[in-house]
A and B are shown apart, each in its own frame.
Chain A
């Protein structure tokens, strides 16, 4: 397994080098070349221009420039943003990334859970009214024009029912007198989510390793999972940051619902199709012939096998979440990576645009690696 991961890691690094090379050559192919693009901002002081020239080796031969650019990309030195001068690009990415990560990873995970379970049930209830209704509903959700859905949600839940905030990622009235920035809360929320996620993963693995009894497996899984959630909620509740975390989560509801509605249907339809193929397999017939309960055949035998393409879909989309959704971020006034990239493009902020592009690429490639590893775990037919 280690050798397989190492081999894939090596391939991913090669791909990353090629990807960065493509970005480098695109920048060089622009009018004026990279030198003009990176120091063309009239606000750069001569000192800053010299610093950029030196950092990117822009006064050196192209090959040296390429090697320096490669090194800079791996050390996250993307230069200085023009539109946010004199802020380094990495600082902007660092500021925007937690916002996008929290929103889109949450939405993607919820989409996956809803899509996976509904796809599984739909395939099992083939031919019934619920399948037709859900499939048509899913297709509508999958193909709906994103701004329309966002406006509908904002109008209905925000303006008409007044249940949720209309926009933005926090309530300024609440944050007016804080001595910390929202970044602190975003990072703590992400940390909390990561710890709970890790606990769930460990609990899941342990439940399968330690017991074959369904009831005890459930106990092993649910006790640490629920405990971690309760402890996290308790710590947040007692913490002075608790109300601010709740505020951000409160503002996340509508954008998460929007992204979930648009994303879940794709996963549901893939899962449904995959399940429909799987249930035709001989081992499902064998499982049924053995007299196993319907639910066990569905969940343990069919769904697990059908999961593979859905996992690919899920993890790759997780990688792309870090580029954010320009439409979602714009309509819900959630300034994350998507908006950063959009603003960079329209304001000709080349260093920021290139930085966002490379950063997204790194994550998508990393997601590919994760897919390969997860595949290797889930599908015994894959040999390494």
Chain B
């Protein structure tokens, strides 16, 4: 027995020595393995956050967004694009802009970054019609073509000015031509070049233009990302002023640029780009509990999770030593959608009545015990620029009885009747409604409300049961059908909108082009995003103006109007969002900032602030 103990001690010492000998390594936990490292697949059919976490830092774009304030700033471009000019080519009207590229930037293999890389990165996915994010960024209704002017200048042609030009075209990912060109040429000889490119691999050796590059992927165990030596933006200062100005001082490029005003007044944020560590190890755990235990033990320093920590784990970690739990607004929302192709969901009064019945505050703060945040518009309040704080949902500030009364009144006014009419006396429902009869004289049959089961999402399952209860109280025959997530997705999209009401959630972007995508009448066809089948020409017109607006302040005003229109018409009833709870080791690492939309894990924070994270122990 003694020998066994000594043997174990010896092994532990050996592992201890190995640990001491390591370089500066930060450990992040992930809950799922990668499925690919191929950028064409990653921004196409394999667009999962797990693939993005260790990989996306490799790639650059002409323009990106500033930390924390999310303002559009140059990435690999040298300053802003030139004003769009109208030109006519072969009888077609196009708009052209010139973008100058930064000089002195190199890929991790030493190859200089030039206009060839940019042209290649735009032309390949556009010509091959790469699906997913590629076509979303290089939307053919916006992007027309790209031309190389010289090694450090490109001209981009678009069909029309649009927000998608800024947030899509100008932010499309850039890959290295030298690496991909031979593969692309081989792909062109295949029957389906796009699929050939997407299935090409392994691509671990693909050079990086970012602060880190993939070094090793041990399937099922870990992904190793190593800092790129002589990263050109290393040491760059990003100074954000309270007046909205953003200043970038880049010593390695001898640059000092300020955007959105003058660099004066109080500094709100100041960040200095790293990398500050030699490697980041993404340890793959198959369950959340193990990752949480590993964080408490100190094996990992931060947990990457697009859904945030579950409340129980967050509570556990709040009591742990040297662990900080952060809470941020999530960039997403949960909602119910009415199938407006069916009766009576197509009646505004019916939808408004349901909206009156849903008491978000009661639901979030009492029933769900504060784990959800009430939300009335698809733009969450964390998205400060685009969030319309003047949206007042139906029933705001009302008691439950007042909500019942308001819903009954709306239904009555629209011509609904009951066999047994619900009665409210002295602030109480004294008689439940039964036998709702629609304005067309026919009884309203059972309305199915599909929602994910408690095993998948207890918040939505609970919300669905309460909505059906409130509806049933006044005689609306809604039946909560708690089913699998995939079943809902199949019914809604694959079975061509075969539903009455469903409850799901969306993960969204900062630029709210989804305000148009989710409710635009042309998107109401099979597989489209407009699942309610909302068809309002006035909305469509406004949405078009919104998406075509390149002045973001004007776009904001239009976005507000869209939000107000949606709150009035309620094709969706937006329910709530959840806080993004995350945890990290305060004795091991330090982030540049922890207050950020969608949390430290989000793409807007560089998927775990890879370029900012510091090892303090």
Instruction: Give the B-binding residues of A (Cβ under 8 A).
Output: 42-48, 83-86, 95, 99, 151, 154-155, 158-159, 162-163, 165-176, 178, 181-182, 243, 246-247, 250, 329-335, 339
CA distance A151 to B290 in the complex (A): 8
Contacts A182-B218, A335-B219 given; does A172 touch B199 at CB 8 Å: no
Please, how many angstroms separate the alpha-carbon atoms of A43 and B200 in the complex? 12
Asked if B222 is at the interface (CB within 8 A of a chain A CB), the reply is: yes
Q: Are B27 and A45 in contact (CB under 8 A)?
A: no
Give residues of chain B (176-228) contacting chain A, Cβ–Cβ below 8 Å.
190-192, 195-196, 198-199, 215-216, 218-222, 224
Partner of A172, one of B195, B224, B290: B224
Q: Is the CB of B294 within 8 A of A167?
A: yes
Which of A43, A159, A174, A181 is within 8 Å of B297, CB to CB? Answer: A159
Q: Mark B284-309, 1 if CB is under 8 A from A, else 0.
A: 11110111011011010000000000
- Complex Cα distance A162/B291, Å? 15
Contact check, A47 vs B18: say whether CB atoms are below 8 A apart. Answer: no
For B290, the chain A residues whose CB sits under 8 A away are 154, 166-167, 331-333
A-side contacts of B283, CB under 8 Å: 168, 172
A330 and B287 contacting across the interface, CB-CB below 8 Å: yes
Q: Are A333 and B285 in contact (CB under 8 A)?
A: yes
Docked pose: A243 CA to B218 CA in angstroms: 17
Residues of B within 8 Å of A169, CB to CB, are 220-221
B residues 461-477 touching A (CB-CB < 8 Å): none
Q: Once bound together, how far apart are the Cα atoms of A159 and B218, in whole Å? A: 24
B220 near A47 with CB under 8 A, answer: no
A175-B33 in contact given A154-B293, A167-B290, A331-B290 (Cβ < 8 Å)? no
A85 to B195, CA, bound (A): 11
Asked if B592 is at the interface of the complex by the 8 Å CB criterion, the answer is no
Assess the A172–B222 pair: CB atoms within 8 A: yes
> A246, B11: Cβ atoms under 8 Å?
yes
The number of residue pairs between A and B whose CB atoms lie closer than 8 Å in the complex comes to 122
Residues A43 and B195 in contact, CB atoms below 8 Å apart: yes
Complex contact B18–A176 (CB within 8 A): no
B294:A166 contact, CB within 8 angstroms: yes
For B158-176 the 0/1 string (1 means CB < 8 A from A) is: 0000000000000000000
Contact call B199/A45, Cβ cutoff below 8 A: yes
Are the C-beta atoms of B45 and A43 separated by less than 8 Å?
A: yes
B367 within 8 A of A: no
**Count class of interface residues, chain B:** 35 or more
Nearest CB in chain B: distance from A382 CB, A: 41
CB–CB B279/A176 < 8 A: yes
What residues of A have a CB within 8 angstroms of the CB of B279 in the complex?
176
Can you name 12 extra interface pairs (CB under 8 A) apart from A45-B192, A167-B293, A181-B218? A42-B45, A43-B198, A47-B192, A159-B297, A163-B8, A167-B294, A172-B281, A176-B25, A176-B279, A330-B286, A333-B220, A335-B219
Check B11–A43 contact: CB distance below 8 A: no
Known: A159-B293, A169-B220. A250 touches B286 (CB 8 A): no
Check B219–A176 contact: CB distance below 8 A. Answer: no
- Is there contact, CB below 8 Å, between A172 and B221? yes
Query: What's the nearest-Cβ distance from chain B to residue A248, in Å?
Result: 10
Tell me if A329 and B286 are in contact (CB < 8 A). Answer: yes
Q: Compute how far the CA of A99 lies from the CA of B221 in the bound complex, rounded to whole angstroms.
A: 12
Q: Does B192 contact A175, Cβ atoms closer than 8 Å?
A: no
- Which single member of A47, A99, A329 contacts B190 (CB below 8 Å)? A47
Residues of B contacting A335 with CB < 8 Å?
Answer: 33, 219-221, 284, 286
**24 A–B contacts from the bound complex (CB under 8 Å):** A46-B191, A86-B199, A99-B220, A151-B289, A154-B289, A159-B293, A159-B296, A163-B12, A166-B290, A167-B286, A167-B291, A167-B293, A172-B221, A173-B22, A175-B216, A176-B281, A182-B218, A243-B18, A250-B11, A250-B15, A329-B286, A333-B284, A333-B287, A335-B33
Q: Residue B243 at the A interface, CB < 8 A?
A: no
Q: Which residues of B contact A246 (CB under 8 A)?
A: 11, 14
Q: Is B110 an interface residue (CB 8 A)?
A: no
A-chain residues with CB within 8 Å of residue B190 when the two chains form the complex = 45, 47
Closest to B200 in A: A86
B537 within 8 A of A: no
Query: Contacts A330-B286, A331-B287, A333-B287 hold; do A158 and B221 have CB atoms under 8 A apart?
Result: no
Given contacts A44-B195, A162-B297, A163-B8, contact A173 B286 (CB under 8 A): no
- Which of A170, A173, A329, A334 counts the most B-chain CB atoms under 10 A from its CB? A173
Q: Tell me the B8-51 residues at the A interface (CB within 8 Å).
A: 8, 11-12, 14-15, 18-19, 22, 25, 27, 33, 35, 41, 45
Query: Which residues of B135-156 have CB atoms within 8 Å of chain A's CB atoms?
Result: none
Q: Provide the bound-state CA to CA distance between A163 and B4, in Å.
A: 13
> How many angstroms between the C-alpha atoms of A339 and B220 in the bound complex?
10
Task: Return chain B residues, CB-CB under 8 Å to A174.
Answer: 15, 18
Residues of A within 8 A of B222 (CB): 168, 170, 172, 175
The 5 closest A-B pairs by CB, nearest first: A335-B220, A172-B222, A45-B195, A167-B290, A45-B192
Contact residue among A44, A84, A151, A172 (Cβ-Cβ distance under 8 Å from B27)? A172
Contact with A along B378-409 (1 / 0, CB 8 A): 00000000000000000000000000000000
Asked if residues A95 and B219 are in contact (CB atoms below 8 Å), the reply is: yes
Chain A: which residue is nearest B222 at the CB level? A172
The reply to whether B297 and A166 form a contact with Cβ atoms under 8 Å apart is: yes
Q: Distance in Å from the Cβ of A365 to the closest Cβ of chain B?
A: 28
Cβ contacts under 8 Å, B19 to chain A: 173
Question: A250 CB to closest chain B CB, in angstroms?
Answer: 7
Residue among A47, A167, A170, A334 making CB contact with B218, cutoff 8 Å: A170
Report the Cα distance A175→B18, complex, angstroms. 11
CA distance A368 to B243 in the complex (A): 77
Distance between B206 CB and nearest chain A CB, rounded to angstroms: 18
In angstroms, Cα B12 to Cα A47, docked, is 52
Shortest distance from the beta carbon of B459 to any chain A beta carbon, whole Å: 21
Residues of B within 8 A of A43 (CB): 41, 45, 195, 198-199
Given contacts A168-B285, A173-B25, A173-B281, whether A45 and B191 have CB atoms under 8 Å apart is yes
C-alpha spacing A170/B35, complex, angstroms: 20
Partner of A170, one of B25, B33, B221: B221
Most buried by B among A162, A166, A169: A166
Tell me the smallest distance from the CB of A343 to a CB of chain B, in Å: 9
Chain A neighbourhood of B287, CB < 8 A: 330-331, 333
Whole-angstrom distance between the alpha carbons of A334 and B284 in the complex?
A: 10
CA–CA, A206 and B379, complex, Å: 78
Q: Cβ of B45: which chain A residues have Cβ within 8 Å of it?
A: 42-43
> Which residues of the other chain, A, contact B216 by a CB distance below 8 angstroms?
175-176, 178
